[in-house]
Structure 1
Amino acid sequence: MAKRRQFGYIRKLPSGRFQASFVDPAGVRQYAPDTFKARPDASRWLALVEADISRGTWTNDQRGKELFGDYATSVLRDSSQIGPRWRETCERNLRLHLVPLVKTPLRSLSPTVVRQWHAEALRGSGGRTSIAQSYRFMRMVMNTAVREELIQRNPCQVPGAGLVQAKERPIATPAEVIKLVEAIHPKYRTAVLIAAWCALRRGEIAGLLVSDVDLAAGTITVRKNRVELLKGGTAFDGDPKTEAGRRTIAIPPHVVPLVRLHLAEFAGSERLFVSRDGTALRGNTLYQAFKRARAAAKLEHLTFHDLRHTGQTLAAQAGATLADLMRRLGHASMVAAKRYLHVVDGRDAEIAKALSDLAEHGDAAKLPRSITMRS
């Protein structure tokens, strides 16, 4: 019976210890990280490596020595899926929150190390949102390392570490929207109305062109998102994050006349909203104008983004379905749109309250004749 050929190669060194090596799937000779006291020890190590290769779980120990900071930087540099705003955020978090890990080899980032880093970060002075962003970035980097076979599994196993429990956002009433419109500079009134009644983001509003408005059809089409970076003050028109972000939205009829007035008095030759010098409106300019308006209207609890939340909530109250909300939001996922259906779902709580009143009074005549949604 022919003897099975041994995987790898073992040689005895002048020191008397044994060195084990093998040729990896890429055709490169790899050496054991340590020498062995006895030949059987070297043979057992080779047998484990052979088994890992046959199962497809073998990783290159030498490549796994690459430092997390260096590898994360290269992933940021080379990934075409990372937008400029998210890249800037990740670079900042790498400097601020992930510093304790930047000199750690990839293969040394165990679930315990990651858990301890996360717990220590939460005990520090950093914000919960930026820490969650840092964790998501690290998880993405380590997923890349798994795909590139530098490590066997992702060590980012902390439940919920990448999530931030969003607080319930305030909802502006139609009367409060009017107060803001009256308080803000006339050239920005339409921006407030579009945010509140069409649920556009600030960047989407700043990116609108005159050609994106169709008064005859009563629609606004979102094609671009104005991106502004903190570093260097760079600004440019970027594509929406997903194809769903490109969308055409019906303008409520009561807003159309004000959009028409804006086009006649304040719009630029190409841009729907412009700065004093006629260039594209900067998001911060709109934000500062909004801050002054909310102070004058005594509505300091509202943010500009709350207007988008208001628009979707009012749409849900008006009977918009989940699909309707997703389309108006420009979201490919239903997760965000579901947040606004709690207003409609609130009918069940009102029905339950009415049933409790019936049990308490024992008299159906004392109950309200109808159950209506709260405005």
Structure 2
Amino acid sequence: MSKNKKTSKRRFGRVRQLPSGRWQARYSGPDGVDRPAPETFATKTDADIWLTKKEAEILNDDWIDPDAGKILLSKYGRDWIDERPNLRPRTVELYGYLFRNHLVPTFGERAIAEIKDPQVRRWRKTLLDAGVSAVTVAKAYRLLKAIMTTAVDDLLIKRNPCRIKGAGQEKSPERPILSVAQVFRLADVVEGRYRALILMATFAGLRWGELAGLQRQDIDMETGVVRVRRQLITVTGQGLVYTDPKSEAGKRMVAMPGLILDDIRDHLKDFTLEADDALVFIGPDNGPLRNVNFNRRVWSKALADAELPKIHFHDLRHTGNTLAANAGASTRDLMKRMGHSSSRAALIYQHSTDERQREIADKLDDLARRAQEKPSGTQRARKKNQP
């Protein structure tokens, strides 16, 4: 044995001193493969301590093959998306976009095991500093966290490096709300074939895809109820695709206010083909509606003609849900009407508007004034005892 090297025998693993003077630790894993520690140690005691901890991992069934985490995120992440069961086409499209544009450029060529907490923190800050919206960064962070959570479950890594408190929460800006008068002003100036589309998006609270996929047989004019069974959306690379609503709760019956029933009846008569399965809303060529074409050709012009600010079509649904909440709809009512299985989204519409706050204040003022005008029991007693 060379005098420059020292070895030490022990019950588990081996340590030896290298020519550099540092100490190396080696051990045989549960798979029978002999492995060195990922680093050398300044003292023999440090090497012994490392081996003691490694032996405890094996005995407690906490040992993870250090070679397992060498798979690149670019491959593991793509497989993760492909292997998710029952993902909606739009969700697959969103995950693919976030993965390609925001995860791969930083982490794509890194091994799963090499992604650590400080790198995740720097990556998130870099995206925000580059002007990527806070909502998109939150979505990208949630995707990375989900992928790394599965890596932990797959025993590729011990610990998820995505540990930034609140980083996955979306803080979207307050959506604009139209008044009833503004909604009807918009409906008055838009092309006739889209008037009912505007009114149903608002007062029935239907999403674009749900409206685009609506069929004649889904509307019961006698009861004023619309049945939501599916939606028609555009998926990159696939074109228009019929899918189920966003969740099981999305399959629902929505009662419409009588105010818009005549408009819907006129629309069915003037613009919808006679077959039961005919699409309710179609373009001038009798083809299905496409969101991009509608926004470019119809929506922008209608907003300008109605002298309204630039808002999204989805803000009509937000307006309708807010009106429903102000009309007294409970959280459960809103969940059913909106097609949500969680109360989180419904609670958004339970916030008080300035107008509602003024109405409450006025009612409190009236109540207090009437209470002051009516003598209390003590005041009546004092008045009775006065000479």
Q: Which moved more, 1:172-181 or 1:263-272?
A: 263-272
- For 1:297, the equivalent position in structure 2 comes to 306
Match of 1:235?
A: 240
Q: SS of 1:172's equivalent?
A: coil
Residue in 2 aligned with 1:326? 335
Larger Rg: 2
Equivalent of 1:77, from 79, 82, 86?
82
Name the residue aligned to 1:286: 294
| TM-score, L = length of structure 1 | 0.83
- Structure 2 residues without counterparts, runs of 5 or longer: 1-10, 374-387
**Counterpart position of 2:35:** 31
Q: How far off is 1:358 after superposition? A: 11
Distance 1:130 1:344 in 2: 27
Residues 217-366 of structure 1 correspond to what in structure 2 (within 5 A)? 217-229=223-235, 231-232=236-237, 234-268=239-273, 269=275, 270-288=278-296, 289-343=298-352, 351=360
Question: Per-residue CA shift, 1:80-104, capped at 9, x if unaligned?
Answer: 2433222222222233222111112
TM-score, reference length from structure 2:
0.80
Structure 2 CA distance for partners of 1:53 and 1:221, relative to 1, 3 Å: farther
Alpha-carbon offset, residue 55 of structure 1: 3.7
- Among 112, 120, 127, the alignment partner of 1:121 is 127
Cα distance in 2 for partners of 1:271, 1:180 equals: 23
Percent identical pairs in the alignment equals 34
Q: Do residues 203 (structure 1) and 209 (structure 2) align?
A: yes
Pick closer, same or farther for the CA change 1:198–1:279 going to 2, 3 Å: same
Q: Residues 45-124 of structure 1 correspond to what in structure 2 (within 5 A)?
A: 45=50, 47-98=52-103, 99-124=105-130
Deviation per CA, 1:232-289: give whole Å up to 9, x if none: 3622011223211111101111212221221122124421112333332212233331
Q: How far is 1:179 from its partner?
A: 0.9
SS at match of 1:244: helix
Query: CA–CA distance in 2 between the matches of 1:293 and 1:319?
Result: 31
> Aligned equivalents of 2:355 and 2:182: distance in 1?
22
Could you say if the C-alpha distance between residues 171 and 49 of structure 1 is closer, same or farther in structure 2, counting changes exceeding 3 Å? same
Which one of 159, 184, 188 corresponds to residue 190 of structure 2?
184
The residue identity in structure 1 corresponding to 2:263 is L
- Where does the alignment leave 5 or more consecutive residues of structure 1 unmatched? 1-5, 366-375
Structure 1 counterpart of 2:209, which letter? G
> Over the residues paired in the alignment, what is the CA RMSD in angstroms?
3.3
Shift of 1:19: 4.4
1:142 aligned residue (140, 145, 148) = 148
Deviations 1:277-304 (A, max 9, x none): 3332212233331221111110124321
Whole-angstrom distance in 2 between the partners of 1:108 and 1:352: 58
Cα separation, 2, equivalents of 1:263 and 1:275: 14
Equivalent pairs, count: 354
* 308-317 vs 146-155, which moves further: 146-155
Confirm whether residue 22 of structure 1 aligns to residue 29 of structure 2: yes
